[in-house]
């Protein structure tokens, strides 16, 4: 039976083995044991030295080696507890595809199962290898290399195309194209279903497609996202409604327009303010609920909150009070 004191170790299981950092009080009892078997679990005995009494591991054995560290330096041991890679790296990953990523002096590279550096430590960041490929970052750009540290022809072509696109964007920008800038300034919206993105430049708002092409000129002081083919837009200090090609559907004469989230039984209603009073208009600009409220919110599930004569209550899409009417 193993006592509680004998269970004071750090361990992780992989490949049928456990790496132990043994409590010094039980180390002496285990010095002469090369392979321990406690309650059916296999352990490796770390060599009898002060260093190994303090050695730590938080990783699995991978391809026969386990990552260990001491005093913030990393190395690798085999399943007999022997160092294959000495404690020399500032950080390290486990082995994948017979290579492990390691970091020293702020740069990453890869070593093989013998500890030999096979890909120089020159990258800002790296991923692990999978199926012979890994992602690496240099000069703030990610690309893919093989196990020889080479960039494949396909990857070279991709990078070349990327540079070419960047050059084209720069040339278009010099000619007055602000596509890249407009895309960077995109606000709420989605082009997943052909709905234009709203964007802004120098305080003016408009709409672009997913490639940065201007669909509706950036001339508005504010715009909302498109819902049901319409967007509320502000021109000067007045609001109106426009469609997805910029055609004015409701003239710019209102003090405010708040679009509803859902359609109502009376169509697409928008809370609208005119001459300090709120009411509701539909998608054609027709007044559906008169301008008589001090405040009005958008419809949700055929219900909206309004304030009249200082009283807050809920109405339906016909303008009838349905809650808190008394």
- For residues 222 and 315, membership in a common domain is answered with yes
303 and 209 within one domain? yes
Length of the chain: 326
CB 307 within 8 Å of CB 294: yes
Higher-pLDDT residue of 127 and 181 is 127
Taking residues 56-67, what's their average pLDDT? 73
pLDDT band at 256 (very low <50, low <70, confident <90, very high): very high
Which structural domain, as residue segments, surrounds residue 138? 96-176
| DSSP line for 169-223 | HHHHHHTT--HHHHHHT--S---TTSPPEEEEETTEEEEE-TTS-EEEEEEESEE
Question: What does the pLDDT read at residue 219?
Answer: 94
Lowest-pLDDT range of 24-38, 226-240, 294-308: 24-38
Residue ending a domain, choose from 176, 201, 217: 176
| Residue 296 sits in the same domain as residue 219 | yes
Q: Which of 63, 88, 113 is the last residue of a domain?
A: 88
Are 82 and 102 within one domain?
A: no
pTM of the entire structure?
Answer: 0.45
Statement: residue 290 has pLDDT above 80: yes
Confidence of residue 20 (pLDDT cuts 50, 70, 90): very low
- Mean of pLDDT over the chain: 78
Same domain, 114 and 72: no
Q: What angle do CA 227, 291, 317 make, to 5 degrees?
A: 50
pLDDT at position 178 is 57
**Does residue 199 sit in the same domain as residue 311?**
yes
Domain shared by 83 and 102, yes or no:
no
Percent of the chain past pLDDT 70, that is, above it, reads 75
**pLDDT for 83-125, tens place per residue?**
899 889 999 998 989 999 999 999 999 999 999 999 999 999 9
Q: Are residues 196 and 143 in the same domain?
A: no
Distance in Å from the first CA to the final CA of the chain: 78
Say how many domains are in the chain: 3
Q: Are residues 259 and 273 in the same domain?
A: yes
- Find the CATH number of the domain harbouring 231: 2.130.10.10
Q: pLDDT tens digits for 209-228?
A: 877 888 899 999 999 988 88
Higher pLDDT, 181 or 258: 258
């Amino acid at each position: 039976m193993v006592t509680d004191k004998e269970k004071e170790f750090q361990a992780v299981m992989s490949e049928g083995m456990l790496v132990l950092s043994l409590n010094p009080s039980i180390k002496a009892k285990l010095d002469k044991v090369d392979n321990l078997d406690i309650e059916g679990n296999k352990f490796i005995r770390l060599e009898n030295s002060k260093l190994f009494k303090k050695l730590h591991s938080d990783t699995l054995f991978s391809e026969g080696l386990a990552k260990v560290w001491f005093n913030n330096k990393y190395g690798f041991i085999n399943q007999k507890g022997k160092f294959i890679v000495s404690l020399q790296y500032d950080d390290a990953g486990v082995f994948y595809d017979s290579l492990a990523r390691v970091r020293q002096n702020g740069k990453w590279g890869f070593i093989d199962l013998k500890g030999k550096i096979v890909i120089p430590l020159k990258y800002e960041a790296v991923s692990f290898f999978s199926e012979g490929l890994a992602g690496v970052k240099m000069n703030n750009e990610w690309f893919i290399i093989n196990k020889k540290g080479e960039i494949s022809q396909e990857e070279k072509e991709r990078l070349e195309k990327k540079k070419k696109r960047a050059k084209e964007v720069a040339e278009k920008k010099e000619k007055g194209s602000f596509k890249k800038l407009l895309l960077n300034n995109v606000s709420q919206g989605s082009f997943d279903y052909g709905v234009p993105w709203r964007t802004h430049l120098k305080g003016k708002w408009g709409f672009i497609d997913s490639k940065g092409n201007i669909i509706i000129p950036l001339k508005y002081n504010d715009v909302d996202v498109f819902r049901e083919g319409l967007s509320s837009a502000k021109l000067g200090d007045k609001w109106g409604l426009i469609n997805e090609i910029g055609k004015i559907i409701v003239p710019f004469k209102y003090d405010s327009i708040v679009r509803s989230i859902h359609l109502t039984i009376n169509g697409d209603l928008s809370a609208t303010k005119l001459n300090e009073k709120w009411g509701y208009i539909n998608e054609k600009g027709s007044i559906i609920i008169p301008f008589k409220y001090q405040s009005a919110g958008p419809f949700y599930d055929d219900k909206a909150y309004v304030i009249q004569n200082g009283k807050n209550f809920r109405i339906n899409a016909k303008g009838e009070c349905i809650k808190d009417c008394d």
